[in-house]
Every structure is written in structure tokens, then in C-alpha cells.
Structure 1
Amino acid sequence: MNGRSGFVKIVLRGVGGALLLAGLAGCGTNPVTGKSELSLISERTELEIGREQYSPSRQMQGGDYKLEPEVTRYVQQVGQRLAAVSDRKLPYEFAVLNDSTPNAWALPGGKIAVNRGLLLELNNEAELAAVLGHEIVHAAARHGAKGIERGVVLQGVLLAAGVATRDSDYSQLAVGGAAIGANLLNQSYSRGAELEADYYGMSYMAQAGYDPLAAVGLQETFVRLSRDRKENWLSGLFASHPPSAERVEKNRQRARELGNGGELGAERYRRIVGVLKKSAPAYKAYSEGLAALGKKQPGKALELAGRAIALEPREALFYGLRGDALGQQKAYPKALAAYDKAVALDDGFFRHFLRRGALKAELGDRSGARQDLNRSLELLPTADAHYLLGGLALRGGDRPAAISHFQHASGASTATGKAASSALVRLDLPANPQRYLRSRLGIDRSGVVVIQLQNPTPVAARNIRIQLGERGSGGGVAVRGEYRFPGTLGAGKTAALRTDIRLTDGGQLNRWESRIVGAVVVD
């Protein structure tokens, strides 16, 4: 119990340092299932996690879909209709994300999102209710909170584990507290949690007046698509919500228990989602343009961006793609104009500011770059923005600010994160060598004390000075000598340095300590 409580504390410091963990471990009754269960995270903390992670999580998944506000209002109406009959009253929120991958997810505390791409695959409002009811149960039955309690999020934070990404998934860029949201979104639910969400979600459908049989048809579609191994489905909904024949049969049985009948809402759904179908060719061209850009084919990407814009000139993402393609061609003024248009159309998506800020930095507009990059950080803390701001601070002579930005960026397991780590070490190691280089003491067969050095950093160091001290009876440490390591200690290397101190008893070594007090980075 003590060990489990400890890891929850670590996770929650990452989510929000001000969270209080009163009543960390305790038993309670699950409001959905009625089962008694151990709860390590209080409801207050659960709600706080959802509030803090909802906005950055939406940013990571393409941002909010804003082109047709009627679509979002419709999804919210269906969601709130289901939330009204749920067993747990939470501050439920529903958003539509600007992502073509069919997916939906729920964060702790009732924060739910469905992708634009999933709406295109559904046939009626009842199927949408099946999706949203399923996600409501995940939140209401604490499935996400249980994932945190199992240590899934902690593992992702400590190991800086990468998450599955797609062209429009920017979760690999997130650092700090937002990285926890990335891990929450990418965790898979257990078989029991999925069956539970189906079972009670169908109950909510029936109570809200929808035909629960629609959930059966939906699962049959999912199973068929998974067998066909449709790539976008495998990277989306199926990654966290794996379908199975068992779920189809369980849903069919549950539908019989609940009784057929209720709304399908097919005509209403077709009318609302028709605007998405109309713009689907534009988003298809956009996705193909992203793929071309990834293959370093900026000309093809630019052509596809133009095709997407011609079909739907109001979508900011398409101008962002144009800016990226022009940037690869080094047509910087035209790229800047494209990013300006993207920001004008959608000033609430981090990537438009990040890319424009990076270009402004390249063009020497430090003030404009800082403004854009800081705005991107407000929307989503990323390693890329911190790294670029660190470089700007360094060029402006603000060493402390540069160190702070590089520290934030170094938390990412990306090329940018590695570059930030290297920049951080180069800046800070001479002033704080003990923070980066490691030393410990040993003793050889003749009783001579040996200092064992380790350089885990990505840069080489020289002129390494180590002080050796002896702890007195009062607890203080008196310096007995200072030693200099000859030569260079390479990146990732270890070495040993013999001292002139000899001990008659190996047990005396625990009274001695070493401390690295000086080092210089090798350029």
C-alpha cells in the first residue's frame, strides 16, 4: 500500500503541483457498477486531472474542429442527453477534434472527445450515442483513474516512453504535465473495462431513448474493419478499444435484455454530418500532402495543399501544410504568408504558432518568434517551442532563461529533446558539474581509495576536479584533498582515479565522500 501511494504522489505532481491528496487510499463503491473497490485517487484529484489535461489533449489530437460549429453543438447535445441518465454526475464536456482518424476517448472527470473522422464512419445518431455512452462509462466508472493507479502514466513519465503517433498526432512533442495526458490517451483499457463500458453504455442509450441495438451493428462494423486491417482504424479507435466477436455477442445479449425500440435518428444524423462528407475530399488531399511532406516531396505537398484549399478555403490546417511545403522549398516569405493565413483562420491551435515562430526565428525576427512560440506554449507545452525559445534566449544573452527552456525540452524522447539535453549540459555543466557528472568511491586490494567517475551526458568533459572529504563525529565533512582527472572523459564513458589515501579497513570507506567541483565541456 505504501509503495502504491508513493507512485500516485509522483504522478500528480506532474499533473498539477497544487493538488491535495487527502484520503489517498480508501475503499468505496463504484457509482456505475455498485461494486466495492479500492480507490487511491480522490474524486477531487480525478476532476482536476480532467480539467488540466482536456485542453492540451485536444491540441495533441489536431485541435478542435471549428469549420462547422453545428457539428460540435450536435455532438454535445447527444452527449449531454446521455450524461443526464448516467450513474455518476460529472462536469461532462464533449468536443469534436479536427482529425481524420476514427477515434474517441475519455479523460478522468468526464472530458470526452470524438474525432471528425469517426463521425464520417457512423450511420445514425444511435450509433453516435453508442460511442458517447461507452466513453461516458469509461469516465463514470473511473477506468482512466484506475489506469493511473496501475502506474501506467507514471511509467510513461519516468521512462519518457514514446507514444503511437500519426501525421496529425502531435503527442510526441508534449512535455511537462501535458506528457501525462499523452499517456492517458494512449493507454489501452482492459477486456473487463471494455465489456463494462459496452454494458452500461447500452443502458444509458435505452434510458435516453435510443435503440440499443445500434450498438450491436456498430461493433459488427468495428470487427469487420479490424479484420480488414484498415490502417487508420488500427491506429485510432482499435488501439485503445479493441473490438472482438465476444463484444458483439455480449452486446446482442444486452440489447435483448433491454428490448428493441427507440430512436435511430438516421435522417437527422445524415443532415448534420453531410457537411463533413462534403469536405472529406479536401481532408483526403491534406492527408496525402502530409505524407508527401514526410517523404521530402514539397512540390507534391504544395500541389495537394492547393487542391485542399480550392475545395475548402476556410480550413486553417491546409494553409499550415502550404507553409510547411514552402518552407521545405526555402520560399520563406511565401511560407510566412501561409502561416499568417492559418493563424488568421484558427488562432487556437498551437502548431500554427509553433511553425510560424520557428520560421520567424530563422528569418531573424526574434521578437515575433518569441511572441509566437510563447503563444504555442500556452496552448500546448512542447519540446520544440522550448528548444527554440532557449536558442533565442541564449542569443539574447539571457543564460538563465535559456537553461530553463532547455531543461523543459530535454524531457522529450525526440531528436529535439536530445539536442536540448546537449545544449543544457554545455551551458550548465561548468557551473554545476555535480549535477551532470557522477562519482563514487571504491577501494582497491592495497587499500587505496579510488574515485570512480561516470559521464552519462552527451558531451565530453575535461579538467574534472574532485574533492575528497571525511565525515567527522559531528556529521560534517572535512575536505582532505582535491584531485584532477587527467585527460578527457568522453560522453557515456567511465574511468577510475587513484588517490593518495590508503585505508587499513575497508569499512572505513563509508566515512568518506567525493564531490565533483569543476569541469569544462569539450567542444
Structure 2
Amino acid sequence: MIPRTPRFSACIANAALVAAVSISGCAVNPVTGEKQLSLISVQQELRLGQQQYPINQQQQGGQYTIDLHLQDYVNKVGQKLARVSDQPQLPYAFVVLDNAVPNAWALPGGKIAINRGLLVLLEDEAELAAVLSHEIVHAAARHSATALSQQQVLGAGLAALGAATKDTAYADLISTGSQLGGSAYIARYGRSNELQSDKYGMQYMAAAGYDPQGAVRLQRKFVALSKGRQANGLEALFASHPPSQSRVSANIEHSQSLPTGGVTNRDAYQKAIAQLKRDATAYKHYDQALQAAGKQQYDNALRLVRKAQQQQPKEATFFALEGDLLAQKKQYAKAHKAYDRAVQKNPILFSHWLKRGVASAALKDYVSAERDLSRSLRYLDTAYAHYYLGEVYAQQGKLRDAYKHYQTAAGAGGEIGAKAQARVQALTSKR
């Protein structure tokens, strides 16, 4: 760990916050030594990260399961960096998500994720270390606690900040797991937090033996992508980590004070992401299928997603989309078979159980539907699962159980909440 001299600045810069919060709401930033706003205790922060980590993973595609060696590789790099951080005692965890959106995020307490869509944009392990060390600083410096505290002061309570849920472009096809439940506590950090994470992240990189120039190359890449047509699909990344030439310049300046000769480990990184690269065409066909589905070109979408299945038969998401398309065509028996294959290939993602349960309900197999819908709730509590459980129980004459689940779904608001509320009112009128 590289020693630093603690510095102290004003706890709160915003005048409105100064009027609202006493000095007791201040805490020392463990990374910079400066004072910052914090109305959340360390234990609360750790609990929040622990509770929200599985929820956020479920909301954003679940864990990437095709190549578990990639999960191990990313975790090893992350843990290596975490050990030289200013908060090495945090319960750090690193996971690769099966999500095409190029993004990475950190929850309180060191719960960190990176999407497969970002991994394929990186060139070497040093660039991966730049991403992970940046997120480690957000956790170590308690940036999320400060952001959430500011929300509380401004009257928003413990709000969801910048939820980066997975964008399923076929969400309008059928009302199942395309729209996700739960709350995502992923903060959108201010410019000072981003620069802070860049700076100290580079110090962590150097301390772990990586070439800090990886962070310079990473920011240069993001600036170039943000300027061109390639920015499409990068909105989530740039919204939470806005690139700029000033960040590139700041990283160059930081690198001049750091040791040279660190490793990049390009060959090891390229070997680690080799499966992702081999599957690039399959994921391209999947994305094209989503686009075709969005234009209601369902037969073309089916053709494309089946090509993706042939190219990578282990990817459960490909079979889930086939089920969505068949359900849209009201071919529920075939849709059920597709969802069944998705469940078999990835049984730890809520939406596969949810969708198979809805298909079972459409086939009037209420026992199977109840089992699958209830199983989906173990992974993620959604209004959709409660609504369809209400439908299943109502069809079986179990009106008390139906009423309970309709009431839960009604509290979610939106289209599904309105449908559930109508069911609640209908059952109430019968009493």
C-alpha cells in the first residue's frame, strides 16, 4: 500500500446540506483522509451491500456461466487489488455478469460486478485492473454511503440511485420477467468521486504490480468510443463513468509519480476471454434477434436466435428468448420446452423459472405453475410472479391466497400493478 498524508476539507460543500446536517453526520474518508458526509454506519453499509448484491445480479442478467474459469480469473485479479487497498478487510466479491451492456459497478462493502460486454472491450489484464481498482476505491472510500446520505438529506430517503438494470429489448413481447423487480442501489458518482477513484485506483494498480498506464489507455479508449458511432450501447457505462479528455490528462499526470515496469499480462487476459470472443457471433445473432423482435418480426427473430443456439448451446438466455417469441405466437407448449431448456442450463436465474411458470399457467398446469413461480421468488421478488401466482390460485378457487398475491403485486404500480389492483377490487366485491 502506498502511504499518503491525510488531508481534511469541509465535510459538506453544498450550503443546503450544511444547514440540514450537523457535524455528527461527518465521517473520515478511509482513502483520502478527508471528511465527508455519512449518515449511514459502516455496519449498515455492509448489510446493504450484502443484501443488494444478489438482487442486482438477478436484475442484470445473472452470473455468466458459460466459462467459470473467467469468473475465477476476474475474482483473482480483483482480490489481488483489494489486498493493497485502504480497506483490505472489506468482504470483497467480484462477479462477471451475463450482460452485453459494457459496464461495471460497486455496491457498498466491496461487492463488485463487471459485465461480459465490458470485458470484450479491454485488451489486457492491466486494463481490467484499472476497471476493478476504480470500483474498489468507490467501495473503500465509502462513496455510496455519501451518495445515499445526500439523498436522505434532500428528502429522498434511501433511494435507488442510477439503477443499471439489464435492458431487455423484447420487454413488450410478453408480460413476464422482462421487467424486473427489486431495488438497485448503484450510485451515480459525482466528478470528484470519479477522479478520486481514478487516482487512487492507479495507486492500487501500481502497488499490486500492474502497469498504471493501463488506466490511461482505458480512459483514452472510452473517450474515443464516446465520440464515435461506437457509443451506441455504452450509455450505461458513460452515465455512471463519464469519460473526458481531462480524465485522460489527470491519469497521465498521476502515472508520472508511480513506479514504472508493471505488468500488463495481455496473453493471460486474452486467454481468459477467449470463450467470449469465440461466442461473439452467437451474441451478435442474439442481439439481432432482439432487434427483429422489437419490430415484431417474430419469425426472423426465431431464425436468428436459433442460429445463436447452434453456435453456443450452453447459453440459457438464447433459449429464454426463443420461449418469449413462441409465447408471443401463443405456442405455449413449445415455449414451455424452450423455457425448460433455459432452466436446465441456468437454474439460478429468476426469470427462467418465472417464464416457465407463466407458460405452465397458460397450459392450465397449475401445479407446475405454482412451483415455478414460487421458485422464481427465491431469487428475486417480482410483481409479475405475485400477479401470476394470484392467477393460478384464482383458477384453483384458492381465493384467499390469490387475494394476498394480487395485493402484493398491486403495490408495485405500473401496468402489472394496475392489473393486480383490478383483481383485488373484483375479489373484494365478491366478499
On whether the aligned pair clears a TM of 0.5, the verdict is yes
Distance 1:273 1:218 in 2: 17
Q: Which amino acid aligns with 2:222?
A: F
The residue aligned with 2:237 is: 237
Distance 1:379 1:25 in 2: 38
SS of equivalent to 1:114: strand
Bigger mean CA deviation after superposition, 401-410 or 108-117: 401-410
Q: Which amino acid aligns with 1:423?
A: R
**1:112–1:206 distance in 2 versus 1, CA, 3 Å:** same
Q: Which amino acid aligns with 1:338?
A: A
**1:84–1:255 distance in 2 versus 1, CA, 3 Å:** same
The Cα shift of 1:158 comes to 7.8
Q: Which amino acid aligns with 2:29?
A: N
Q: Is 1:333 equivalent to 2:333 in the alignment?
A: yes
Larger Rg: 1
The residue aligned with 2:6 is: none
The residue aligned with 2:220 is: 220
The residue aligned with 1:248 is: 248
SS of equivalent to 1:150: helix
Q: Is 1:145 equivalent to 2:145 in the alignment?
A: yes
Please list, as runs of the form range in 1=range in 2, the aligned pairs for 1:347-496 lying within 5 A after superposition: 347-428=347-428
Tell me if structure 2 keeps the 8 A contact 1:172–1:414. no
Q: Which amino acid aligns with 2:61?
A: G
The Cα shift of 1:328 comes to 1.8
Query: What CA deviation, in whole Å up to 9, does each residue of 1:435-473 have, x standing for no partner?
Result: xxxxxxxxxxxxxxxxxxxxxxxxxxxxxxxxxxxxxxx
Q: Which amino acid aligns with 1:291?
A: Q
| Greater relative contact order (CA < 8 Å, ≥ 6 in sequence) | 2
Distance 1:239 1:166 in 2: 15
SS of equivalent to 1:381: coil
SS of equivalent to 1:149: helix
The residue aligned with 2:167 is: 166
Unmatched 5+ stretches in structure 2: 1-11, 172-176
Q: Which amino acid aligns with 2:402?
A: A
Please list, as runs of the form range in 1=range in 2, the aligned pairs for 1:33-44 lying within 5 A after superposition: 33-44=32-43
**1:168–1:29 distance in 2 versus 1, CA, 3 Å:** farther
The residue aligned with 2:5 is: none
Tell me if structure 2 keeps the 8 A contact 1:76–1:95. yes
SS of equivalent to 1:270: helix
TM-score (norm 1): 0.73
Bigger mean CA deviation after superposition, 218-227 or 232-241: 232-241
The Cα shift of 1:156 comes to 8.8
Distance 1:40 1:257 in 2: 35
The residue aligned with 2:189 is: 189
Q: Which amino acid aligns with 1:224?
A: A
Alignment RMSD:
2.9
How many residue pairs match? The answer is 407
SS of equivalent to 2:112: strand
Q: Which amino acid aligns with 2:65?
A: K
**1:211–1:108 distance in 2 versus 1, CA, 3 Å:** same
Q: Which amino acid aligns with 1:42?
A: S
**Higher helix proportion:** 2
Distance 2:206 2:162 in 1: 40
The Cα shift of 1:395 comes to 2.7
Distance 1:59 1:154 in 2: 29
**Higher strand proportion:** 1
The residue aligned with 2:65 is: 66
Q: Which amino acid aligns with 1:226?
A: S
Identity %: 45
Distance 1:198 1:340 in 2: 44
The residue aligned with 2:54 is: 55
The residue aligned with 1:31 is: 30
Q: Which amino acid aligns with 1:40?
A: L
Query: What CA deviation, in whole Å up to 9, does each residue of 1:209-232 have, x standing for no partner?
Result: 001011011001101111115344
SS of equivalent to 2:314: coil
The residue aligned with 1:132 is: 132
Tell me if structure 1 keeps the 8 A contact 2:314–2:345. yes
Tell me if structure 2 keeps the 8 A contact 1:104–1:115. yes
SS of equivalent to 1:330: coil
Distance 1:366 1:217 in 2: 55
Tell me if structure 1 keeps the 8 A contact 2:101–2:234. no
Distance 1:351 1:410 in 2: 20
The residue aligned with 1:276 is: 276
The Cα shift of 1:243 comes to 0.8
The Cα shift of 1:292 comes to 1.9
Query: What CA deviation, in whole Å up to 9, does each residue of 1:182-217 have, x standing for no partner?
Result: xx23x4210011001101111100000001011011
The residue aligned with 2:81 is: 82
SS of equivalent to 1:405: helix
Query: What CA deviation, in whole Å up to 9, does each residue of 1:231-272 have, x standing for no partner?
Result: 444333112111111111111100111133200111111111
Tell me if structure 2 keeps the 8 A contact 1:61–1:169. no
**1:165–1:142 distance in 2 versus 1, CA, 3 Å:** same
The residue aligned with 1:499 is: none
TM-score (norm 2): 0.87
Distance 1:267 1:125 in 2: 9
Q: Which amino acid aligns with 1:391?
A: E
Tell me if structure 2 keeps the 8 A contact 1:409–1:416. yes
Distance 2:357 2:429 in 1: 29
The Cα shift of 1:368 comes to 0.5
The Cα shift of 1:415 comes to 1.6
The residue aligned with 2:4 is: none
Bigger mean CA deviation after superposition, 49-58 or 221-230: 221-230
**1:258–1:428 distance in 2 versus 1, CA, 3 Å:** farther
**1:421–1:368 distance in 2 versus 1, CA, 3 Å:** same
Q: Which amino acid aligns with 1:173?
A: Q
SS of equivalent to 1:267: helix
**1:157–1:295 distance in 2 versus 1, CA, 3 Å:** farther
Distance 2:155 2:419 in 1: 24
The residue aligned with 1:517 is: none
SS of equivalent to 2:113: strand
Distance 1:403 1:195 in 2: 51
Unmatched 5+ stretches in structure 1: 8-23, 432-523
Distance 1:160 1:140 in 2: 18
The residue aligned with 1:264 is: 264
Tell me if structure 1 keeps the 8 A contact 2:26–2:36. yes
The Cα shift of 1:147 comes to 1.9
Distance 1:60 1:33 in 2: 33
**1:159–1:103 distance in 2 versus 1, CA, 3 Å:** closer
Tell me if structure 2 keeps the 8 A contact 1:173–1:412. no
Tell me if structure 1 keeps the 8 A contact 2:390–2:406. yes
The Cα shift of 1:421 comes to 2.7
